[in-house]
Amino acid sequence: MPGNELVQGLGLDDYKFGFVTDSEPVFRSRQGLDEDIVRQISARKDEPEWMLARRLKALRIYESKPMPQWGGDLSELQETLNETYFYVRPQEQMERSWDDVPDNIKETFERLGIPEAERKILAGVGAQYDSEMVYHSLKEEWESKGVIFDSIEDGLKNHPELFRQHFGTVIPAADNKFAALNSAVWSGGSFVYIPPGVELKTPLQAYFRVNQERLGQFERTLIIAGEGSRAHYIEGCTAPVYSTDSFHSGVIEIIVNRDARFRYTTIQNWSNNMYNLVTQRALVHQGAHMEWLDGNLGSKLTMKYPSCYLMGEGAHGDILSIAYAGDSQHQDTGGKVIHVAPNTTSSIVSKSISKGTGRSSYRGLCKVYDGATNARSNVECDALLINETSRTDTFPYIEIDEKSATVGHEATVSKVGDEQLFYLMSRGMDEAEAMALIVRGFIEPIAKELPLEYAVELNRLIELEMEGSVG
Amino acid sequence: MDDTPILAVTGLRARVPGVDLDILKGVDLAIRPGEIHAIMGPNGSGKSTLAKVIAGHPAYEPTDGSIDLRGEDLLEMEPDERAQAGVFMAFQYPVEIPGVSIANFLRTALQARLENGDELDLFDFQELLMERMELLDMDVAFAQRPVNDGFSGGEKKRNEILQMAVLKPSLAVMDETDSGLDIDALKIVSNGVNTLKRENPEMSVLLITHYQRILDHIVPDVVHVMVGGRIVESGGPEVALELEARGYEEYRNVHVA
Question: B86 CA to chain A: closest CA distance, Å?
Answer: 9
Nearest residue on chain B to A419, alpha-carbon basis: B95
How confident is the model over A147-161, as a mean pLDDT?
Answer: 92
pLDDT at B32 over 70: yes
Given an 8 Å threshold on Cβ–Cβ distance, is A438 in contact with B59? no
How confident is the model over A120-130, as a mean pLDDT?
Answer: 43
Which of A237-241, A313-317, A412-416, A418-422 is the most confident on average?
Answer: A313-317
Give chain B positions within 8 Å (CB) of A1: 58, 78-79
pLDDT at A229 over 80: yes
Nearest-angstrom CA–CA distance, A176 and B176: 61
Given an 8 Å threshold on Cβ–Cβ distance, is B79 in contact with A422? yes
Given an 8 Å threshold on Cβ–Cβ distance, is B112 in contact with A420? no
pLDDT at A31 over 70: yes
pLDDT at A215 over 50: no
Give chain A positions within 8 Å (CB) of B58: 1, 418, 422
The answer to which of A92-101, A178-187, B18-27, B172-181 has the lowest mean pLDDT is: A92-101
pLDDT at B197 over 80: yes
Confidence of residue B75 (pLDDT cuts 50, 70, 90): very high
Quick check: B251 and B242 in contact, CB under 8 A? no
Confidence of residue A120 (pLDDT cuts 50, 70, 90): low
pLDDT score at A366 = 96
Confidence of residue A7 (pLDDT cuts 50, 70, 90): very low
Question: B256 CA to chain A: closest CA distance, Å?
Answer: 34
pLDDT score at A454 = 75
Given an 8 Å threshold on Cβ–Cβ distance, is A425 in contact with B59? no
Which of B47-61, B185-199, B209-223 is the most confident on average?
Answer: B47-61
pLDDT at A240 over 60: no
pLDDT at B3 over 90: no
Cβ-Cβ pairs closer than 8 A, A with B, add up to 87
pLDDT score at A351 = 95
> B243 is in which domain, residue-wise?
7-254
> Is position B246 within any domain?
yes
How confident is the model over A336-358, as a mean pLDDT?
Answer: 96
> What ipTM was reported for this prediction?
0.95
Given an 8 Å threshold on Cβ–Cβ distance, is A438 in contact with B97? yes
> Is position B2 within any domain?
no
How confident is the model over B112-126, as a mean pLDDT?
Answer: 89
Give chain A positions within 8 Å (CB) of B57: 422
Residue B50: name the closest of B83, B85, B25 by CA: B25
Question: B97 CA to chain A: closest CA distance, Å?
Answer: 6
Per-residue pLDDT of A382-429, as tens digits, reads 999 999 999 999 999 999 999 999 999 999 998 888 899 999 999 999
Given an 8 Å threshold on Cβ–Cβ distance, is A443 in contact with B79? no
Cα A306 to chain centroid distance, Å, stands at: 9
Per-residue pLDDT of A444-471, as tens digits, reads 988 888 877 777 777 777 777 777 654 3
Give chain A positions within 8 Å (CB) of B108: 429, 433, 437
Residue A390: name the closest of A446, A465, A281 by CA: A465
pLDDT score at B248 = 80
H helices within A334-451, ranges in order?
Answer: 418-425, 431-447
pLDDT at A254 over 90: yes
The closest CB to that of A445, out of B58, B95, B99, belongs to: B99
Nearest-angstrom CA–CA distance, A234 and B186: 51
Question: A14 CA to chain B: closest CA distance, Å?
Answer: 24
pLDDT at B216 over 70: yes
Give chain A positions within 8 Å (CB) of B92: none
pLDDT score at A238 = 45
> Mutating which of A4, A107, A416, A423 best tests the B interface, going by the most B Cβ atoms within 10 A?
A423
What is the domain count for chain B?
1
pLDDT score at A129 = 32
Question: A415 CA to chain B: closest CA distance, Å?
Answer: 12
How confident is the model over A308-334, as a mean pLDDT?
Answer: 95
Given an 8 Å threshold on Cβ–Cβ distance, is A427 in contact with B109? yes
pLDDT score at A214 = 42
Residue-averaged pLDDT of chain A: 82
pLDDT at A96 over 90: no
Give chain B positions within 8 Å (CB) of A419: 95
Quick check: A315 and A344 in contact, CB under 8 A? yes
H helices within B101-248, ranges in order?
Answer: 102-112, 122-135, 153-167, 183-199, 238-246
> Is position B1 within any domain?
no
Give chain B positions within 8 Å (CB) of A2: 78
Class of residue A20 by CB neighbours under 10 A (exposed 0-12, middle 13-18, buried 19+)? exposed
Number of helices (H), then strands (E), in chain A:
12, 21
pLDDT score at A145 = 94
Residue A48: name the closest of A179, A164, A216 by CA: A164
Percentage of chain B lying above the pLDDT 70 cut: 97
pLDDT score at A213 = 37
Percentage of chain A lying above the pLDDT 90 cut: 55
Per-residue pLDDT of B145-193, as tens digits, reads 999 999 988 899 999 999 999 999 999 999 988 877 788 888 888 999 9
pLDDT at B43 over 70: yes
Question: A421 CA to chain B: closest CA distance, Å?
Answer: 10
The closest CB to that of A441, out of B82, B98, B110, belongs to: B98
Confidence of residue A156 (pLDDT cuts 50, 70, 90): very high
Question: B100 CA to chain A: closest CA distance, Å?
Answer: 5
How confident is the model over B240-252, as a mean pLDDT?
Answer: 80
Taken in order A244, A249, A255, A259, the sign of the CA dihedral is positive
Confidence of residue A13 (pLDDT cuts 50, 70, 90): very low
The answer to which of A82-96, A137-151, B3-17 has the lowest mean pLDDT is: A82-96
How confident is the model over A50-78, as a mean pLDDT?
Answer: 93
